[in-house]
Amino acid sequence: MNKDDSFFYMIGTLENSKFIEKKRFYVKGSAGYEQAQGIFYHSKYGLFIATNKLTNGSATNYNMILCARIPDKISSVDNGKIYIPESEFRFNGNSRYASLAVRSLCISDSGILYISTNAVAATAGSEYDNDVIFRATNPVFPKNGLMEFTLSSKESLIVPNPDVTINGSTYTCANLGAFALNGTTGYCLLSHTTDDDMKDKASVLLSSPDISSKNFTRVSGSPVLRTMGHGNGMTYANGYLFVAAYDRAINRNEIAQLDPATGNLVETYQCEHTIGGISYYGYDSQRDKDLFIVVNYDYSSSKPYAENPEFFIGYLESGKFTSIKNFRAQNPSFKNGSQKNVLQDIFYSPSHGLFYVTFTGTTRIYRLLPEQIKQASDEPLVPVAVYNKDDAIYEIESLAISDSGTLYIAQNCDSEFTKDDAVTQIGALSFISK
Which residue did the predictor score with more confidence, 399 or 301?
Answer: 399
Average pLDDT over residues 305-312: 96
| Paired residues of 381 in beta bridges | 329
Q: At 372, which helix (H) or strand (E)?
A: helix 370-374
Residue 336 confidence (pLDDT) = 83
Residue 56 confidence (pLDDT) = 60
Name the E strands within 79-131: 82-83, 87-90, 97-107, 113-121
Residue 31 confidence (pLDDT) = 75
- Of 89-98, 198-207, 339-348, 412-421, the poorest mean pLDDT is in 412-421
Three-class SS state of 233: coil
CA-to-CA separations, 11 to 8, 14, 25, 67, 83, in angstroms, rounded: 11, 10, 8, 17, 14
- As a whole number of angstroms, the distance between CA 428 and CA 150 comes to 10
pLDDT bin (cut points 50, 70, 90) of residue 414 is low
Q: Dihedral sign, CA of 333, 192, 229, 403?
A: negative
Residue 59 confidence (pLDDT) = 46
| Paired residues of 64 in beta bridges | 51, 90
Q: Is the pLDDT of residue 50 over 80?
A: yes
Average pLDDT over residues 198-220: 95
Average pLDDT over residues 250-270: 97
Torsion of CA 372, 373, 375, 377, to 10 degrees: 110
Task: Give the distance from CA 25 to its chain's centroid.
Answer: 26
CB atoms within 10 A of CB 332: 14
Reported as a single tens digit per residue, the pLDDT across 111-161 is: 999 999 988 888 877 777 788 999 988 899 998 889 999 998 888 999 999
CA triple 334-138-73, angle to 5 deg: 75
Eight-class DSSP state of 84: P
Residue 362 confidence (pLDDT) = 86
Q: Is the pLDDT of residue 417 over 70?
A: no
Reported as a single tens digit per residue, the pLDDT across 62-102 is: 888 999 999 888 999 999 999 988 888 888 777 788 888 89
Please give the share of the chain, as a percent, with pLDDT higher than 70: 96
Residue 167 confidence (pLDDT) = 94
**Range ranked top by mean pLDDT from 186-190, 212-216, 351-355:** 186-190
* pTM tops 0.95, yes or no: no
- Of 201-205, 289-293, 413-417, the poorest mean pLDDT is in 413-417
- As a whole number of angstroms, the distance between CA 127 and CA 59 comes to 22
Greatest pairwise CA separation for the chain in angstroms = 88
Among residues 212, 213, 226, the alpha carbon closest in space to that of 263 is found at 226
Q: At 50, which helix (H) or strand (E)?
A: strand 46-55
DSSP secondary structure of 163-209:
EEEETTEEEE--EEEEEEEETTEEEEEEE--SSSTTTTS-EEEEEES
